Structure 1
Amino acid sequence: MADPTSIFLGASRKPDDSYQRPEELLLKYGNRHGLVTGATGTGKTVTLQIIAEGFSNAGIPVFCADIKGDLSGIAMMGEPKDFLVKRAEAVKLDPYEFQEFPVIFWDLFGEQGHPIRATVSEMGPLLLSRLMNLTEAQEGILNIAFRIADEEGMLLLDMKDLQALLTNIAERADEISRRYGNVTKPSVGAIQRTLLVLEQQGANHFFGEPALRIADIMRTTRDGRGAINVLAADKLMMNPRLYATFLLWLMSELFEQLPEVGDPDKPKLVFFFDEAHLLFDEAPKILVDRVEQVVRLIRSKGVGIYFITQNPLDVPETVLAQLGNRVQHALRAYTPREQKAVRTAADTFRPNPDFDCATAITNLGTGEALVSTLEEKGVPSMVQRTLIRPPASRLGPVTAEERKKLISESPVAGQYDQAIDRESAFEVLQKKAQQRQQIEPEEQSTQAGGSRWTLPDFGGGQQPAPSDRYQPAPRQRQAPAPRPSNRQTVAEAAIKSVVRSVGSQVGRALVRGILGSLTKRR
């Protein structure tokens, strides 16, 4: 039953309740994206597991998030349990062979896998604003910060780089406002407080170097199988905004770095986005537009994106329209929203005259699903009620010892485990601050009348106080000459009074005479 051009998903049910027709996902349409939905406990994780196994055996690397830890068992050999063997017989999977798969474990916190890091510059202001839930004004300031970092040649690598740059912007708020618009210290402070919250939630583990190289998640083994990259996300789910932002960043990096390949015979990489609703919850329109753009265009890069979520209404219609391969597990229809979700899911399938989709969705058993994949020429197949095949790998998580052993034997062991802190914005701004501190005391001393000049000490006497001007040596002081007394006799005083009186009278007479003669002439 093995087909190198397709992945066997299971067998569809005939009207007499027997399973006969195999349901397959064609590899050449694997980059047309997909959707796996269903209520909790209906089998979404097993479906994800068998699709990942199929891509890996076809030589296609896979990246997927492990929300509950169950997916980690894909690294270990499966076990012949009764209910698995029974299902294999029902879907005519013969022979049912067990297999272990090449897995690389990753973890943003570096606890259950190799650390994954990205630099602040790679993340960019748009995704950071989404991560921090900034207002429009605060997002503008963050854009200004990135612009200043580019202009002044400062690297933004980790959280402390961004904190230091924001502090510098607050100090230069007046200057920067004249160039780029209003920058207020309260807005800068609000961004800094948000960064502190992110740091406490563990985001400081994510930002830094060495940054993840896309090539390391696109590895293949010597026997031609694709690596399955499993992201430990149980702790990451405590901060869903960081989880969604990271996965969106990874998709954006894939889109920017991979070359155009058109429609290849099989995908270059397949990306599974579990709990996809976290990406779109309360997301601004500009971010949803970005997701839609990446989903629409990344297909030509040979990358397939598969969203896994409980409700098809969690995915915007503009994104939903781009998903060609669909697996719908059971949904409950107790509330009006759940009933709407059932109708929406039923309407997205190509109808099958043998059953009513809306009714079937609510009656599906565990491990059953409605399946529609792209057939020849990219046309969606008629929806079929399908029993999903059992996995070849272990159904359940790995133990702590098994995980530790797999991490130590990983092809990227030692490459990302130790963080690197090279010179970046924090160090550059710190050096500038130290230089200012050294210059300021000298300027203050000069303004206070001090001098950089010193006089030689020849000994034997007190050195004169320094001055900014050269001063001649002090001469030997001599006794001052006696000043004339200001005292006068009574006769001298009387004579001076008469003279002042006569002088005044003569002056007035002269003035009157001159003025009178001028008047008479007229």
Structure 2
Amino acid sequence: MSNKEAFSKYINDGNMTKGDFIPIGAAMLDGETITGAHVKIPLKTLNRHGLIAGATGTGKTKSLQVLAENLSDKGIPVLLMDIKGDLSGLAEPSPGHPKIDERMEKIGLPFEPKRFPVEVLTLSEQDGVRLRATVSEFGPILLSRILDLSEAQSGIVAVIFKYCDDNKMPLLDLKDFKKILQYATQEGKDEFEDDYGRISTASTGAILRKVVELEQQGADLFFGETSFDTQDLLRIDEDGRGYINIIRLTDIQDRPKLFSTFMLSLLAEIYSTFPEQGDSDRPELVLFIDEAHLIFNEASKALINQIESIVKLIRSKGVGLYFVTQNPTDVPEAVLSQLGLKIQHALRAFTANDRKAIKLTAQNYPNSEYYNTEDVLTSLGIGEALVSALDEKGRPTPLAATMMRAPMSRMDVLTDSELSALLSKSKLVKKYNEEIDRESAYEMLNEKIEKAEAEEAKEKARQEQEALKKAESKYRTTTTSRRRSSAMNPVVKVLTSATFIRSVFGILTKVMKK
């Protein structure tokens, strides 16, 4: 048996599967593609998460596209984070190309141009289905971690939520949350102190500044109604294919706080609402997070801990998470250790740090008698990758330098007219793009403050009226008293007596007669 035949048997035996699978390409040896030595990913282990990494221009996005297409074909819905704006072409078939035909012939797989069911979502004012969540849905713990609050500040946030729950005040958007923060230390200070203890003005001021920072990154567009129902990510089209949900994020690359906020809220919502799936034969949903370093670079320690916890737990819900980034070191060790599938495109060694990163990356892969992993990492061509997956028993499959298959859909973006046509057919646009601003904490607190001010003005007017009545009563009493005092005076009594008056008039009469 030749070396190539032995290698082909080694790859095929290691990738043997009883269940359904996705063939992503053919293994390579000494730079040559071994036709028919297919590298397969079992559907059963796709909820074990994964990584797609490699230098710019090495084919990461196309590998992501291939996985998304094949998952959709298997009836598994997909959610993609489109940071660079180059994934919308999934909605249109590939125009084909001789180089694609040549590649697929080498691999030994058929090529069929296809379009896939696509839903375009957005966090911002771009065209697409609007994604929103309410502050109440975040809850005090998650919101505190997003804002990177201290323990004391987190306690205040918990009190704020408790007050709103007790008083049936919905916290829908950030203006609701800011209003209740101000109310707690101003108009409602006494009320809060009586029922929940004293709240520090300095602490609420610090929290308010963190909220304003989040607003400046566009979070005011994200918080509000109508809240997105994560069940709408699980739709299947009339042909039994899973929808590929693409979130347009091209305008938030410089707003990592918003990206982290959205990702954490989405994962938390999925974890809390999806039922336990156990050890099933296929995932319920697969998420691809492009430019994953945006989540981790600006994230606080508390936020990273939260993400690590969700990554560990969410696979039991049948959800697979796939991080797409340039270098595996962009992903924290605790998260990297949870990733079953690794598709590593070429890395370039331009500096000493690059060489160290390549050495570390090579150590993340199983040893192979056919490859020097460090050398292969720097010699892979475009559309080639080192692949290590998990078999149906959870064991690593043989490490394979792989020629990746070509996408069946367009490897380019939709035109404006194509995007408009796609959105015009969307049922979710009609469901979520109407902005609702119902009565919530902001309006209820304003009404409460206005009522309190009206009551205060009314009480002040009443007190002034009472004071005026008292003054008038005092004046009348004083006048009456004076009159009585004059009447009791002996001189006044004589001067005003009838006898005295008659005497005066008698004298006057006699004088006049004379």
- Aligned with residue 163 of structure 1, among 178, 197, 210: 178
Q: 1:125 and 1:465, CA in 2 relative to 1: closer, same or farther beyond 3 A?
A: closer
Q: What SS does the aligned partner of 2:121 have?
A: strand
Q: Where does residue 330 of structure 1 map in the other structure? A: 346
- Aligned with residue 27 of structure 1, among 43, 47, 50: 43
Q: Where does residue 136 of structure 2 map in the other structure? A: 121
CA distance in structure 1 between the partners assigned to 2:443 and 2:353 by the alignment: 53
Q: Where does residue 405 of structure 2 map in the other structure? A: 389
Range with bigger deviation, 143-152 or 53-62: 143-152
CA distance in structure 2 between the partners assigned to 1:23 and 1:468 by the alignment: 103
Q: Is the 8 A contact 2:236 2:243 kept in 1?
A: yes
Deviation at 1:107, TM superposition (A): 0.4
Q: Is the 8 A contact 1:30 1:266 kept in 2?
A: yes
Mapping for residues 406-445 of structure 1, pairs under 5 Å: 406-445=422-461
Q: What SS does the aligned partner of 1:13 have?
A: strand
CA distance in structure 1 between the partners assigned to 2:472 and 2:398 by the alignment: 99
Deviation at 1:286, TM superposition (A): 3.1
Deviation at 1:177, TM superposition (A): 5.8
Note if 1:112 corresponds to 2:127.
Answer: yes
Q: Where does residue 287 of structure 1 map in the other structure? A: 303
| Percent of residue pairs identical | 43
Amino acid of the residue matched to residue 27 of structure 1? Answer: L
CA distance in structure 2 between the partners assigned to 1:157 and 1:474 by the alignment: 65
Q: Where does residue 205 of structure 1 map in the other structure? A: 221
Q: Is the 8 A contact 1:349 1:382 kept in 2?
A: no
Q: Which runs of 5+ in 2 are unaligned?
A: 1-17, 492-514
Q: What SS does the aligned partner of 1:101 have?
A: coil
Q: Where does residue 149 of structure 1 map in the other structure? A: 164
Q: Where does residue 462 of structure 2 map in the other structure? A: 446
Q: 1:479 and 1:465, CA in 2 relative to 1: closer, same or farther beyond 3 A?
A: closer
Q: 1:435 and 1:479, CA in 2 relative to 1: closer, same or farther beyond 3 A?
A: closer
Q: 1:318 and 1:482, CA in 2 relative to 1: closer, same or farther beyond 3 A?
A: closer
Q: Where does residue 203 of structure 2 map in the other structure? A: 187
Amino acid of the residue matched to residue 253 of structure 2? Answer: M
Range with bigger deviation, 58-67 or 312-321: 312-321
Q: Where does residue 112 of structure 2 map in the other structure? A: 97
Amino acid of the residue matched to residue 136 of structure 2? Answer: S
Q: What SS does the aligned partner of 2:309 have?
A: helix
CA distance in structure 1 between the partners assigned to 2:105 and 2:129 by the alignment: 39
Q: Where does residue 216 of structure 1 map in the other structure? A: 232
CA distance in structure 2 between the partners assigned to 1:152 and 1:295 by the alignment: 35
Deviation at 1:271, TM superposition (A): 0.9
Range with bigger deviation, 135-144 or 375-384: 135-144
Q: Where does residue 20 of structure 2 map in the other structure? A: 5
CA distance in structure 2 between the partners assigned to 1:481 and 1:347 by the alignment: 117
CA distance in structure 2 between the partners assigned to 1:25 and 1:309 by the alignment: 20
Q: 1:192 and 1:286, CA in 2 relative to 1: closer, same or farther beyond 3 A?
A: closer
Deviation at 1:131, TM superposition (A): 3.6
Q: What SS does the aligned partner of 1:70 have?
A: coil
Q: Is the 8 A contact 1:104 1:410 kept in 2?
A: yes
Note if 1:371 corresponds to 2:398.
Answer: no
Deviation at 1:467, TM superposition (A): 6.1
Q: 1:297 and 1:336, CA in 2 relative to 1: closer, same or farther beyond 3 A?
A: same
Q: Is the 8 A contact 1:104 1:227 kept in 2?
A: yes
Amino acid of the residue matched to residue 33 of structure 2? Answer: S
CA distance in structure 1 between the partners assigned to 2:473 and 2:240 by the alignment: 84
Q: 1:470 and 1:154, CA in 2 relative to 1: closer, same or farther beyond 3 A?
A: farther
1:366-425: CA deviations, max 9, x gaps? 111000111231111111000111000000111111111111101313101111111211
CA distance in structure 1 between the partners assigned to 2:475 and 2:64 by the alignment: 85
1:274-311: CA deviations, max 9, x gaps? 12222222533333232222112211111111111111
Q: 1:185 and 1:368, CA in 2 relative to 1: closer, same or farther beyond 3 A?
A: same
Q: What SS does the aligned partner of 2:428 have?
A: coil
TM-align CA RMSD: 2.9
Amino acid of the residue matched to residue 348 of structure 1? Answer: N
Q: 1:47 and 1:452, CA in 2 relative to 1: closer, same or farther beyond 3 A?
A: farther
Deviation at 1:121, TM superposition (A): 1.2
Q: Where does residue 80 of structure 2 map in the other structure? A: 64
Note if 1:229 corresponds to 2:245.
Answer: yes
Q: 1:480 and 1:195, CA in 2 relative to 1: closer, same or farther beyond 3 A?
A: same
1:81-106: CA deviations, max 9, x gaps? 23322222221222x11000000000
Mapping for residues 485-504 of structure 1, pairs under 5 Å: none
CA distance in structure 2 between the partners assigned to 1:78 and 1:466 by the alignment: 94
1:217-267: CA deviations, max 9, x gaps? 110011100000000000122211111221121111111101111111111
CA distance in structure 2 between the partners assigned to 1:16 and 1:158 by the alignment: 56
Q: 1:63 and 1:470, CA in 2 relative to 1: closer, same or farther beyond 3 A?
A: farther
Q: Where does residue 271 of structure 2 map in the other structure? A: 255
Q: Where does residue 313 of structure 1 map in the other structure? A: 329
Q: Where does residue 405 of structure 1 map in the other structure? A: 421
Q: Is the 8 A contact 2:33 2:107 kept in 1?
A: no
Q: Is the 8 A contact 1:368 1:386 kept in 2?
A: yes
How many residues are treated as equivalent by the alignment?
472
Amino acid of the residue matched to residue 126 of structure 2? Answer: E
Q: Where does residue 496 of structure 1 map in the other structure? A: none
Q: 1:438 and 1:113, CA in 2 relative to 1: closer, same or farther beyond 3 A?
A: same
Q: Where does residue 505 of structure 1 map in the other structure? A: none
Deviation at 1:352, TM superposition (A): 1.4
Range with bigger deviation, 153-162 or 118-127: 118-127
Q: 1:382 and 1:436, CA in 2 relative to 1: closer, same or farther beyond 3 A?
A: same
Q: Where does residue 496 of structure 2 map in the other structure? A: none
Q: What SS does the aligned partner of 2:321 have?
A: strand
- Aligned with residue 212 of structure 2, among 196, 199, 205: 196
Range with bigger deviation, 140-149 or 293-302: 140-149
Q: What SS does the aligned partner of 2:393 have?
A: helix
Deviation at 1:165, TM superposition (A): 0.6
1:108-167: CA deviations, max 9, x gaps? 114221110000111233433344344444333323322222232211111111011111
The structure that is helix-richer by fraction is 2
Q: Which runs of 5+ in 1 are unaligned?
A: 454-463, 486-522
1:27-57: CA deviations, max 9, x gaps? 1111111111111111110010000001100
TM-score, length basis structure 1:
0.84
Q: 1:439 and 1:380, CA in 2 relative to 1: closer, same or farther beyond 3 A?
A: same
Deviation at 1:468, TM superposition (A): 11
